[in-house]
Amino acid sequence: MLKKVGIISLLFVCLLPANEINAQITNAGFIPGNIWYSKDPFEEGDKIKIYTLIFNPDARELSGMVNFYDKTTILGKKSFVVAGKSVKDISIDWTVDAGAHNIFAKIENAKFLISTGKYENVNLTENQTEESSRTINKKIVPKLPDIIGDSATDGQIAKVQNVILENTPDFIAKPIIEAVNSLEKMRESAGTFSRNKKEEISNQIKALNNEEVLPDSESNAKLQKPLKYIELFFLAIFSIILDNKWVFYIALAFIVFFLIRFIWRRIF
C-alpha cells in the first residue's frame, strides 16, 4: 500500500511543470481592495487613470506584469519592477464608456531577481485585487436646433428662399429674394469694413500706449486715447451684430418694427 502511494506521489510530482515546482509562495502582491481612479466619480467619455498598488515585503526585487480587466475584457497591461521592501503604484489610461463595469487587476509572470540575469518564479498570495463595480449612465447631450450658428444659417436661409419661391408668385418672390441677397451682401461688406476698422483702431491705441509722448503733445494724446476707446467700443458692438446673421436680422426686424410703428402713429 505504501509503495502504491509512493508511486502515485512520484507520478504527480513528475506531471507538475518545472516552474511550478520551483516557484515559491510569498505574501507579496496587491493590497486587498486596491483599485482607485484619478477621477471619482466619473462619467461616460471621461479620460481617467486606473491605479493599483503592489507591495513587496521581500528583500529581493519583484517583477512581472499587471493586467487590468473589466469583467473578462483586458483594458490594458503594464510591466512592473518593485524594489525589495517597497511598494509601487501601477496605472493605465481608460476612456470611460457607459454600462456596468467590474474593474480589477491581476499579476502574471511574477518573479524574484536572484542574481544578475537570474530569476525565480513566485506564487503570490495576493495576485488579484477585489473587483471595483461601477455603473455608468449614458451621457445625454442635448441636441441644439439646426438654426443655431452661422454654419447652419446659410442652409436655413436657402430653405426659406425655396419656400418663398415654391409658395409665392414669381412677381412677388423674385423681388423678395433679390432684396434678401442684396441685404446679405451689404451685411458681409459692412462686417468686413467693421473688422478692419476695429483692427486699425486697436493698432492706433497700442501706438499711443507705447509712444513716448513729448511734453507739448501730451494733452493731445490724452484726449485721443479716450476717443479711440469709445470708437473701438462701438465698432466691437457693430462687429458682433454684423458677424452673426441671426443677431443682424433680429436687430433689423426690431428697427423695421419701431420705424413702422413710428410712421403709423405719425399718420394716424
Neighbouring CB atoms inside 10 A of 88's CB total 14
Domain assignment present for residue 103? The answer is yes
- The answer to whether the beta carbons of residues 28 and 58 sit under 8 Å apart is yes
Exposure string of 122-159, with b = 16+ CB inside 10 Å and e = fewer, is bebebbbbebbebebeeeeeeeeeeeeeeeebeeeeee
Cβ-contact 44, 141 below 8 angstroms: no
Please write the tens of the pLDDT for every residue from 66-124: 999 999 999 999 999 999 999 999 999 999 999 999 999 999 999 999 999 899 999 88
The answer to whether residue 226 sits within a structural domain is: yes
Classify residue 143: in a domain, yes or no.
Answer: no
- Report yes or no on 43 lying in a domain: yes
Domain shared by 127 and 155, yes or no: no
21: pLDDT strictly greater than 50: no
Last residue of a domain, one of 89, 113, 136: 136
pLDDT at residue 96 in the model: 94
E strands present in 127-231: 132-136
Per residue in 132-190, pLDDT (tens digit) is 999 999 887 666 454 444 544 556 656 655 655 566 566 565 666 677 677 777 777 77
- Asked whether residue 104 falls in the same domain as residue 43, the answer is yes
State whether 113 and 157 are in the same domain: no
Cell numbers placing 160: 426659406
Do 164 and 75 share a structural domain?
A: no
Q: CA 95 to CA 76: how far, in whole Å?
A: 12
* β-bridge mates for residue 26, sequence order: 124
Residues 90 and 78: beta-carbon distance below 8 Å: yes
DSSP result, 10-53? HHHHHHS-HHHHH-EEEEEEEPTT--EESSSS--TT-EEEEEEE
* 80 and 168 co-located in one domain: no
Residue 60: domain span? 16-136
Residue 87 included in any domain: yes
HSE-CB of 69 using CA atoms within 13 angstroms: 15
Same domain flag for 125 and 160: no
Query: In the predicted model, what is the mean pLDDT of the chain?
Result: 75
User: Same structural domain for residues 154 and 132?
Assistant: no
Judgement on whether residues 85 and 162 belong to the same structural domain of the protein = no
Mark whether 127 and 157 lie in a shared domain.
Answer: no
Number of domains forming the structure of the chain: 2
210 and 109 housed in the same domain: no
Phi-psi bin for 265: left (phi > 0), alpha (psi -120 to 50), beta? alpha
3-state secondary structure labels for all residues of 102-150: EEEEEEEEEEEEEECCEEEEEEEEECECCCEEEEECCCCCCCCCCCCCH
Neighbours of 199 (CB within 10 A): 12
Predicted confidence band of residue 7 (pLDDT cuts 50, 70, 90) = very low
In a domain, 10, yes or no: no
> What pLDDT band is residue 8 in, cutting at 50, 70 and 90?
very low
Domain presence at residue 1: no
Placement of cell 451684430 in the chain:
241
Q: Which of 10-19, 64-73, 253-262 has the highest mean pLDDT?
A: 64-73
- How much is the pTM? 0.47
DSSP letter string, 243-261 = H-HHHHHHHHHHHHHHHHH
Give the span between the Cα atoms of 247 and 257, in whole angstroms.
Answer: 15
Mean pLDDT comparison of 2-11, 205-214, 235-244, highest-scoring range:
235-244
Residues 119 and 225 in one domain: no
Residue that finishes a domain, picked among 136, 160, 180: 136
Instruction: Give the pLDDT score at 187.
Output: 76
Q: Is residue 4 part of a domain?
A: no
Where residue 111 sits, what CATH number does that domain have? 2.60.40.10
CA–CA dist 223, 234 (Å, integer) = 18
